[in-house]
């Protein structure tokens, strides 16, 4: 009898355990639900779904290891190819930086999320998630996003297509996220981190001692955009394109002090200044505009990217091929004429200075990245390449110097010098010349004294943010 009584107690205890309510992240009780159907067990989640709902996946759609569990489920269309709805479920133990990028990409403010807790949360699989509705490559998209800091994990659920279908809710109701609190503490946010700083540096390139002076930007600019930043200088004013927006700074040769945000109707990627003090802004499928003395002075429809000559009277409109256009501006009107760089196959970037047109791209029959230096009439003067005549990385700025040419190679993180006839002199690595770790050279501009103001993005040492930083280069 004693044995029977003990067994009965064990059974009752087991029943009580299985009947206990589950708890959400905020501690509120939720009803535990037992679902019948197909189960997918992963290291970081379990998923139970009903086969009759039409969800399918293949072996290639499922990935599972100690730190990442991911699956892509689909409901195929009844007729034709493609899917009615696609559900990506991804849970990964990883650094917080992808999550923070997701936040801003999906329309959330990092400070409002982390400090002010301004957003409503939705329970998905036992984890409190942000909810965002948007699009993905032209399709409607519903996203759930969370950072479980104690576990050092990011949760991303992305439903693309007909996400209002009730079978989506049924699928997510069968998800249980399994994360262990390991005591992880994420690194600082941008406003908590240490801004970039460095000393003056110099490096030998051939016989030249090239010097760099860090130019502090106040207030420091943090960004999620690695590449699309540019600068032009007019006297003691510097104009920065930051994520497409135009900002004006006071520039005294030693620092860039924020002056104002300039409101424009569009965002732009390229900027240049002419000798009259006019700023020119362009981007693909956007008008070419000019700005001076605090006001928009002109807007021209038609050109693609435009590199303006310092005179401000003409420029080269380009996109990706060698068949470009020369634009001439006179009496408020714009005239175009064909301008073909016959030695070039693909154009990746194009710049114009007083005496030259620089086409960064590949030659006909050669995929190597080089710089083709033309005079203003379009006659090839030199071809700039690596030390052995082979490919450069990605030249984001090039200009004539007193002794030849200087280029910023964003991909190789090098400053490169060539002679007047295009002979390679040498290069300096970013760590030696700037004291940086792995920046991207966004571009630059030549200053009145012949020095170069170079703009780059660099991740802070504490990884709290990527920051826009500036240097003045001289000695070539």
Quick: pLDDT tens for 136-182: 999 999 999 999 999 999 999 999 999 999 999 999 999 999 999 99
pLDDT of residue 258: 98
pLDDT higher than 90, residue 2: no
Neighbouring C-alpha atoms within 13 Å toward the C-beta of 158: 17
Dist CA 40 CA 64 (whole Å): 11
pLDDT bin (cut points 50, 70, 90) of residue 36 is: low
Dist CA 302 CA 279 (whole Å): 18
Neighbouring C-alpha atoms within 13 Å toward the C-beta of 77: 8
pLDDT of residue 211: 98
Q: Where are the beta strands (DSSP E) in 32-138?
A: 38-41, 45-49, 62-64, 68-76, 83-93, 122-124, 127-136
- The owner of tokens 């998630």 is 129
Quick: pLDDT tens for 341-353: 999 999 999 999 9
Residues forming a β-bridge with 203: 210
Q: Which two tokens stand for residue 184?
A: 């992880």
Quick: pLDDT tens for 390-409: 999 999 999 999 999 999 99
pLDDT of residue 35: 53
Domain boundaries 201-474, CATH class: mainly beta
pLDDT bin (cut points 50, 70, 90) of residue 1 is: very low
Quick: pLDDT tens for 189-228: 999 999 999 999 999 999 999 999 999 999 899 999 999 9
Burial (0-12, 13-18, 19+ Cβ within 10 Å), 270: buried
Top pLDDT among 80 and 86 is at: 86
CATH number of 29-177: 3.40.1000
Quick: pLDDT tens for 404-445: 999 999 999 999 999 999 999 999 999 999 999 999 999 999
Quick: pLDDT tens for 4-18: 334 333 333 333 333
- What percent of the chain clears pLDDT 90, i.e. is strictly above it? 90
**CA distances for 194 relative to 152, 190, 218, angstroms:** 22, 8, 14
pLDDT of residue 80: 81
For the chain, give every domain's residue range: 29-177, 201-474
């Amino acid at each position: 009898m004693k044995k029977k009584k003990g067994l009965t107690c064990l059974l009752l205890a087991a029943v009580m355990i299985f009947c206990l309510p589950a708890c959400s992240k905020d501690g509120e009780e939720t009803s535990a639900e037992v679902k019948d159907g197909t189960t997918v067990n992963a290291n970081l989640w379990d998923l139970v779904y009903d086969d009759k709902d039409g969800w399918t996946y293949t072996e290639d759609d499922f990935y599972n290891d100690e730190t990442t569990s991911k699956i892509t489920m689909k409901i195929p269309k009844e007729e034709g190819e493609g899917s009615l709805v696609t559900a990506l479920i991804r849970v990964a133990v990883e650094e917080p930086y992808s999550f923070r990028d997701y936040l801003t990409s999906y329309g959330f403010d990092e400070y409002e999320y982390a400090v002010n807790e301004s957003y409503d949360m939705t329970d998905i699989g036992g984890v409190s998630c942000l909810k965002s509705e948007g699009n993905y490559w032209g399709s409607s998209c519903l996203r759930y996003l969370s950072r479980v800091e104690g576990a050092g994990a990011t949760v991303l659920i992305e439903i693309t297509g007909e996400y209002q279908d009730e079978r989506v809710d049924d699928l997510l109701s069968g998800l249980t996220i399994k994360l262990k609190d390991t005591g992880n503490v994420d690194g600082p946010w941008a406003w908590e981190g240490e801004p970039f700083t460095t000393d003056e540096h110099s490096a030998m390139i051939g016989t030249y001692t090239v010097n760099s002076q860090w130019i502090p930007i106040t207030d420091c600019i943090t960004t999620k955009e690695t590449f699309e930043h540019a600068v032009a200088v007019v006297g003691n004013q510097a104009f920065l394109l930051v994520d497409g927006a135009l900002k004006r700074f006071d520039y005294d040769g030693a620092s860039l002090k924020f002056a104002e945000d300039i409101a424009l109707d569009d965002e732009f990627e390229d900027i240049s200044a002419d000798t009259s003090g006019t700023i020119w802004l362009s981007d693909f499928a956007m008008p070419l505009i000019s700005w001076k003395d605090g006001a928009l002075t002109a807007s021209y429809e038609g050109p693609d990217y435009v590199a303006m000559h310092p005179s401000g009277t003409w420029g080269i409109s380009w996109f990706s091929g060698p068949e470009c256009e020369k634009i001439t501006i006179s009496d408020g009107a714009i005239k175009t004429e064909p301008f073909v760089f016959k030695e070039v196959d693909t154009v990746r970037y194009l710049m114009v200075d007083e005496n030259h047109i620089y086409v960064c791209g590949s030659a006909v029959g050669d995929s190597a990245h080089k710089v083709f230096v033309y005079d203003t009439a379009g006659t090839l003067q030199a071809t700039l390449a690596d030390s052995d005549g082979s490919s450069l990385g990605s030249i984001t700025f090039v200009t004539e110097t007193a002794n030849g040419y200087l280029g910023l190679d964003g991909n190789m993180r090098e400053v490169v010098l060539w002679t007047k006839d295009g002979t390679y002199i040498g290069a300096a690595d970013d760590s030696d010349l700037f004291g940086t770790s792995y920046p991207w050279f966004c571009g630059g501009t030549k200053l009145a004294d012949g020095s170069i103001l170079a703009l780059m993005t660099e991740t802070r040492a504490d990884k709290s943010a990527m920051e826009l930083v500036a240097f003045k280069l001289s000695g070539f």
